[in-house]
Amino acid sequence: MELSRAQDIISLILSKEFRGDASRHVIYKAGNRLNFSCPYCGDSTRDSKKKRGNFYIDTLSFKCYNGGCGIFKDSASFFRDFSVYGKLTEDEKSQIKNQIEENKSKRRNFYGKVDLSLFFDTDLDQILIPRQEFMKSLKLKEVYDSPIASYLLKRCQKLDSRFAWDPKWEKLYLLNLTPENQILGLQVRNMNSIKGSSKYYTYKLSGIYEKILKVKDPEIISNAQKIDPIASLFGIGSLDFARSITLFEGPMDSWFWPNSIALCSVENKFPFDVENVKYWFDWDSAGRQKSVELLSENKCVFNWGKFLEENEITKNQKWDLNDLVMHLRKTGKKIKRFDYYFTDNPLDLGDFINI
């Protein structure tokens, strides 16, 4: 597809989505891509000059770099979402189909199963943070030889490089790593807080540079912000898109389950347009509400209500996978296979409501 042809089609989308706002109809050419206001999130309701939507001609794909959006779509899905796919010629549709297949084959080369370089126009090796350098900079210790080891073992966690310990401030670091031990994002938990008040703080890549490493170089921060949409997707560096993908809220839950991602919040989106996704959110008010919303859309979710009832486990408390694993190991209770309890049938909505 020619750059000018893509620009014409995208102009139709922007004219429709941003009626009466000419500043959001502007499209900039930047090498092999078109830069414009994201039609999914609008970039910013306060500043129409922010344009974080990007359409790449070489991969025929759309990517938003707004941290609260982070949508990634192949061009067929992008055009269908805004009802302009039918305006393409048969040759253009065929070209898009072939490019999608080529992208899928390339996507399994680089960081584990995912070629992240397909999604970003920057040199990842120059911006991701080597774990050892980060450990040295903050004077962090390995968890296997630290006071936090007993806490992690109690939670049935493996003492490996995904964790780090700050002995001075008594903070536990959970690291989102690539297979090459480069840091994409992280969570920090203050372990010296008053009981019940400790919290996790999630940092995307730009936040690590700005708030933890105190880096002020605007070019570094700008490049890091391009990675931010996937920085809090714990496990993205080794994900296999060809297999079933399970989405959790917390990293420590996701580390129990193969080919999974932690979103760090029920409100965070998985920005890739794939169909083989299952959701396993916590059994609490927010998790139940989000699961109901997803199930109403025929998305596949873990049916906590049915699982707890059939296995005679109380529904009247919060559960996540980590808590459940601890409970099962402590009690020795035998259960049916977890896979049995995933559902995409809206008729199961009652299991989330009637508790």
Identity of the residue numbered 35: N
Distance CA 174, CA 170 (A): 13
DSSP state of 265: S
Calpha distance 246→78 (Å, rounded): 23
Alpha-carbon gap, residue 128 to 355, rounded angstroms: 45
CA distance 165 to 147: 9
- Assess contact for 159 and 152: CB atoms under 8 A: yes
For 128, other C-beta atoms within 10 Å of its C-beta total: 22
Q: Which two tokens stand for residue 90?
A: 């048969």
Tell me how crowded residue 58 is: count the other CB atoms within 10 A of its CB: 11
Question: CB–CB of 100/274 below 8 Å?
Answer: no
d(CA 318, CA 238): 29
Report the candidate in 195, 193, 188, 229 with the shortest Cα–Cα distance to residue 211: 188
CA-closest candidate to residue 204, choices 111, 67, 51, 70: 67
- What pLDDT is stored for residue 102 in this prediction? 76
Sign of CA dihedral 14, 17, 22, 28: negative
Answer for the pair 249, 269: CB distance below 8 angstroms, yes or no: no
| Three-class secondary structure of residue 78 per DSSP | helix
Q: Tell me, what DSSP letter sits at residue 89?
A: -
Determine the Cα–Cα distance for residues 68 and 14; give it in Å rounded to an integer: 20
Amino acid (one-letter) located at 220 = I
**Residue spans in the chain of domains classed CATH 3.90.580:** 3-106
Domain topology for 3-106: DNA Primase; Chain A (3.90.580)
SS3 208: helix
Are 110 and 123 a contacting pair, CB within 8 Å? no
pLDDT given at position 106: 53
Supply 264's token pair: 């760090």
User: 217: which 2 tokens?
Assistant: 């170089």
Q: Which residues 6+ apart lie within 8 Å of 197 measured at CB?
A: none
Q: In whole angstroms, give the CA distance from residue 117 to residue 127.
A: 12
Cβ 273 vs Cβ 119: under 8 Å:
no
Give the β-pairing of 163-166 and 129-130.
unpaired
pLDDT (tens place) for every residue of the chain, 355 residues total: 888 899 999 999 999 998 888 888 999 987 788 999 999 888 755 555 678 888 998 888 898 877 667 788 888 889 999 989 999 999 999 988 888 777 665 544 333 334 455 454 445 778 899 999 999 999 999 999 899 999 999 999 999 999 999 999 999 999 999 888 899 999 999 988 645 445 789 999 999 999 999 999 998 998 888 888 889 999 988 888 778 999 999 999 999 999 999 999 998 888 777 778 999 999 999 999 999 999 999 999 999 999 999 999 999 899 999 999 999 999 998 888 899 999 999 999 999 887 6
> Does pTM surpass 0.85?
no
> What amino acid occupies position 39?
P
The residues near 216 (Cβ < 8 Å, ≥ 6 apart) are 210
**Among 72, 74, 118, residue whose Cα is nearest residue 93:** 74
pLDDT, residue 227, reads 85
C-alpha pair distances (Å), 50 with each of 45, 46, 182: 10, 9, 30
